[in-house]
Structures are given as C-alpha cells and as structure tokens.
Amino acid sequence: MKRRSAVAVAIVVLVVVLGVAFGTGLAPGFGSGVEDGDASSSDFPTQTPTPTQMSSPTPSEEAERGTPTEDTSTPDEESADPPFVFEIDSIETCGQTCRDVTSTLTNQQDERAADTTVYSRIFVGNSTDTDDVIWQGKEEVGGLPAGDSYTTTRRVELSLTEAFAVQQADGWITIQTTIETDEQTLTYAERRDVI
C-alpha cells in the first residue's frame, strides 16, 4: 500500500512539473516562440503598433498584402504606392503545428534600399502585446535594388501549447511584419483566421 501511494504521489509531482515547464515555456522548444538565431523581443524595432487591416481571409488564400501602420518618411517622400510590398506567396503544411511560409518583399521605390532587415512576429488573436507572441523571425535582406524582389521560405513551428492558444482565440492570429532600412522603418499588420 505504501509503495502504491508513493508511485501515485511521484506521478502527480511529475505531471505538475511537466505542466509548469511546458505551460510557462521553461522546456526547450515550448512556449518560447523564438527559433535559434532569431531576434529576441527586444531586438524588434516596433513593439506595439496597432493593426490596421482586419480582414477575414481563409487559410487557402495564399497571397495578401498588409497595410503599413507606421512610416518614418517625411510627407514630401510619401506617394500613392507604398515603398515596399510584402506578400505571402504560399503556405505549405510540414506537420500538425508546422508550416513552411514563402514570402516576397518587393522594393517599389526608385532607389536601392540599403541595409534591409525584415522582422516578423505572429501573435495570438487580435493582440500585438509581446506576451502574446507565438513565433518571431528576422531575415537579413541587405541591399535591395529599386524594383527588385527578395523571396524566402521560413519554417513556422508552434508548440502544442502555442497551437492550443491559437485554437482558444477561435483560430485568429495577427501577423506583424516590420521592414527596416537605413532610411526608414515600416510596419505591416494583418489578421488571419487559420483554422
């Protein structure tokens, strides 16, 4: 009887420890939302912009444009076309909570964009609070000549805890993309229903 009670207590303790580790992100790969080599939250140039595009696209729609929410250019530099277009070209399933996302950044300016870096974050629901980040990445583009495009594929893997959080938000996520060059910083945000 004592041995049976000791085993039951050990199992309960193990379940509690695992629950705390996975629920708070202490276990590797769970709850961190940051891949090795990607930027930490403090490295992102824009912390909490307000999303301006609130559409309800289906997951099968492969290409959409975000709307810029912040532009540090002067009014004289503004034009009808945004300086950059950021598009999601395709989303491929690579597992239950994994997607390979191919995206393209196009420089629509008349001159080269120097020292270009793209920062992307995915938030649960309609929030852009840093506590709601479930994935983030950073892509060093470098110089991007006028009219040229840069295409890349990134793997977005979520832990089961992060995927459950998306499910609890009725499948809604907010994708925030910040394009930083040596002359300007623009942030695009869009909301998607991914379930």
Predicted confidence (pLDDT) per residue in 94-115, tens digit:
999 999 999 999 999 999 999 9
pLDDT band with cut points at 50, 70 and 90 for residue 39: low
Mean pLDDT check: name the lowest of 3-7, 61-65, 94-98, 142-146: 61-65
Cβ contacts of 168 within 8 Å, gap of 6 or more: 124
- Average pLDDT for the chain: 75
Tokens of 53: 């595009």
For residue 138, pLDDT beyond 50: yes
Collapse the DSSP code of 182 into the 3-class scheme (helix H, G, I; strand E, B; otherwise coil) and give the result. Answer: coil
Q: Looking at residues 125-143, what average pLDDT do you find?
A: 95
> Tokens representing 168?
């609890």
- What average pLDDT does range 154-177 have in this prediction? 96
Q: For the ranges 9-13, 45-49, 177-181, which has the lowest average pLDDT?
A: 9-13
**Helix-strand-coil percent breakdown of the chain, rounded to 5?**
20, 40, 35
- Interatomic CA distance for residues 104 and 179, integer angstroms: 12
Rounded to whole angstroms, how far apart are CA atoms 10 and 2? 12
The domain 33-193 belongs to what CATH superfamily? Immunoglobulins (2.60.40.10)
The residue ranking higher by pLDDT, 56 or 133, is: 133
The model carries a pTM of: 0.65
Domain ranges of the chain: 1-30, 33-193
Of 81, 86, 83, nearest to 119 (Cα)? 86
pLDDT at position 1: 55
- Is 50 exceeded by the pLDDT of residue 29? no
Q: Of residues 55 and 72, which shows the higher confidence score? A: 72
Closest to 82 in 3D by CA, of 99, 70, 97? 70
Q: Counting beta carbons within 10 angstroms of the beta carbon of residue 27, is it exposed (0 to 12), middle (13 to 18) or buried (19 or more)?
A: middle
Q: What is the pLDDT of residue 80?
A: 74
